[in-house]
Chains A and B, each alone.
Chain A
Amino acid sequence: MAESPFKADIERVQKEYSEKMTPGAIAKIPGSSVVNKTGSWRVFMPDFNRDKCVRCYLCYIYCPEPAIYLDEENYPTFDYDYCKGCGICANECPVDAIVMVRESK
């Protein structure tokens, strides 16, 4: 998986939040949405077949999270920390390179 472009933000916010719980559960600095990983909500996960991919980037464009990045060779790669498993990428893919499969925990 490619490194998240938010890595620096994540580390900054995680450092802040590793401190004690604030009174009233106040989020002291902006950026908490980055550390609140939404991947745990997922039931179905996208299964990506790199051989079929034509690099049209429709998945990348349509991902509402956005949890799809491009790797060094400009192929899409999925960030499962934030992918909610909505299946829009699989639906948009014109060559069926993405299939939603039930995620076993």
Chain B
Amino acid sequence: MPVRKVMKANEAAAWAARLAKPKVIAAFPITPSTLVPEKISEFVANGELDAEFIKVESEHSAISACVGASAAGVRTFTATASQGLALMHEILFIAAGMRLPIVVAVGNRSLSAPINIWNDWQDSISERDTGWLQFYAENNQEALDLILIAFKVAEDERVLLPAMVGFDAFILTHTVEPVEIPDQEAVDEFLGEYVPKHAYLDPAKPITQGTLAFPAHYMEARYTVWEANENAKKVIDEVFAEFEKRFGRKYQKIEEYRTDDAEIILVTMGSLAGTVKEYVDHLREKGVKVGAAKLTVYRPFPTEEVRELAKKAKVLALLEKNVTFSVGGALFQDFSRALINESEKPRIVDFILGLGGRDVTFRDLDEVMDISKRALAGEEFDEVNWIGLRKEVL
């Protein structure tokens, strides 16, 4: 029987790792994800998880050790956040290029300077071009489930790409919630033993991994990463369906909430989706036609689903905890790209809010709605809006 326990998202991630039974975990502690390797090292020390826990001297080494272990042919896992993920940047490309299905739990945190340990998505959003798959969890249960799903998708023969699962710093990483821990047998059946398809070291069958590619081959190698990302779209749907069948929890690339007759749809990711859904309920009581949508999968970008979503609304308000300079937020860029050739498209308004752990309150969302309503009425509006900005200190 599945057990319900109260735990932090960090513990949920460690539990997901325990259930997935990786053979190698290499990690370096960084706030707010420190508790993940801490808990895993406990599991290993207690003999509850049969794995090699490698204590390394930096995140660059952590992911490098994971690349080495994965290339040798075992399931690997690590956790990091913020500057740690940024330090991994170089190796993230290598992991994707070598098509190694490593899974990383990311406690989404802002980037320095100024140093700030609280939540936004700038760390993993900055890594969106590495070729990694990206999932964002709304709550602790999703953090656990999405890590299991990430392993299954990453290791699929049609994908073979590393994946990161983001959960918001402190809002989730250090917040205690009831989480259902699935049965080990059920997870074993769902994930299966990891059998490396291409990358494994065998003296009887020598291969060269991470080799040099001349201009004649490099472009094709990059294209296969692109192709694997495209394949992942279908595989993710299949894995979501299988997960629902086995564990009863439903996931979608874009989860919609009360969008049926909505004129304005508030689109967001991660834990902010919870706040937004409650806000939508609050407005619906007043008769406002508003809905919410949450991206569970950010890479590969769910272009088809975005186009479907766009047909339902007159205004899409994107709520983002990241900044892409000269653009606004990364979602704004992705949504614009997805809809640019559509004949009928909603107005897209971008909102940057909650950076560096600033609370996003109903009052902030009221401001979002004011601007969105202006866009709906066809009045002039700014495409990019910084919400909750303390203009008096500027």
Distance to closest chain A CB from B90 (angstroms) = 17
**Closest B residue by C-beta to A27:** B208
How far is A32 from B216 in the complex, measured between Cα atoms in Å?
A: 13
A27 near B207 with CB under 8 A, answer yes
A30 near B208 with CB under 8 A, answer yes
Q: Which residues of A contact B207 (CB under 8 A)?
A: 26-29
A-facing mask of B175-209, CB < 8 A → 1, else 0? 00000000000000000000001110000001111
How far is A29 from B221 in the complex, measured between Cα atoms in Å?
A: 17
A23 near B208 with CB under 8 A, answer no
B198 near A26 with CB under 8 A, answer yes
B199 near A26 with CB under 8 A, answer yes
How far is A40 from B238 in the complex, measured between Cα atoms in Å?
A: 46
Query: With A28-B207, A30-B208, A32-B211 known to touch, is A23 a contact of B198 (CB < 8 Å)?
Result: yes
How far is A21 from B212 in the complex, measured between Cα atoms in Å?
A: 14
B214 interface residue per 8 A CB criterion: yes
A25 near B217 with CB under 8 A, answer yes
Distance to closest chain B CB from A86 (angstroms) = 18
Complex interface residues of chain B between 194 and 242 (CB less than 8 A to chain A):
197-199, 206-214, 217, 220-221, 224, 228
How far is A86 from B204 in the complex, measured between Cα atoms in Å?
A: 37
Complex interface residues of chain B between 244 and 296 (CB less than 8 A to chain A):
none
Q: Which residues of B contact A21 (CB under 8 A)?
A: 217, 220-221, 224
How far is A27 from B77 in the complex, measured between Cα atoms in Å?
A: 25
B99 interface residue per 8 A CB criterion: yes
How far is A32 from B210 in the complex, measured between Cα atoms in Å?
A: 13
Q: Which residues of B contact A32 (CB under 8 A)?
A: 208, 211
Complex interface residues of chain B between 314 and 353 (CB less than 8 A to chain A):
none
Query: With A21-B217, A36-B214 known to touch, is A26 a contact of B209 (CB < 8 Å)?
Result: yes
Best-surrounded residue of A21, A22, A23, A26 (most CB of chain B within 10 A)? A23
Q: Which residues of A contact B220 (CB under 8 A)?
A: 21
How far is A23 from B221 in the complex, measured between Cα atoms in Å?
A: 8
**Closest B residue by C-beta to A17:** B217
B-facing mask of A46-83, CB < 8 A → 1, else 0? 00000000000000000000000000000000000000
B221 near A25 with CB under 8 A, answer yes
How far is A22 from B210 in the complex, measured between Cα atoms in Å?
A: 12
B214 near A24 with CB under 8 A, answer no
How far is A21 from B160 in the complex, measured between Cα atoms in Å?
A: 14
B211 near A27 with CB under 8 A, answer yes
A25 near B199 with CB under 8 A, answer no
Q: Which residues of A contact B133 (CB under 8 A)?
A: none
Select which of B97, B100, B197, B206 is within 8 A of A25 by beta carbon: B97
A-facing mask of B11-37, CB < 8 A → 1, else 0? 000000000000000000000000000
B208 near A24 with CB under 8 A, answer no
Q: Which residues of A contact B214 (CB under 8 A)?
A: 36
Q: Which residues of A contact B99 (CB under 8 A)?
A: 23-24
B297 interface residue per 8 A CB criterion: no
A23 near B160 with CB under 8 A, answer yes
B98 interface residue per 8 A CB criterion: yes
Q: Which residues of B contact A22 (CB under 8 A)?
A: 198
**Closest A residue by C-beta to B223:** A21
Query: With A30-B206, A30-B208 known to touch, is A25 a contact of B160 (CB < 8 Å)?
Result: no
Q: Which residues of B contact A30 (CB under 8 A)?
A: 206, 208
Q: List 19 A-B contacts (CB under 8 A).
A: A21-B217, A22-B198, A23-B198, A23-B199, A23-B228, A24-B100, A24-B160, A24-B199, A24-B209, A25-B213, A25-B221, A26-B98, A26-B208, A27-B207, A27-B211, A28-B207, A29-B207, A32-B208, A32-B211
**Residues on A close to B: CB < 8 A?**
21-30, 32, 36
Beyond A23-B224, A30-B208, 19 extra complex contacts between A and B, CB < 8 Å: A21-B224, A23-B99, A23-B198, A23-B199, A23-B228, A24-B98, A24-B160, A24-B198, A24-B209, A24-B210, A25-B97, A25-B217, A25-B224, A26-B207, A27-B209, A27-B211, A29-B207, A30-B206, A32-B208
**Residues on B close to A: CB < 8 A?**
97-100, 160, 197-199, 206-214, 217, 220-221, 224, 228
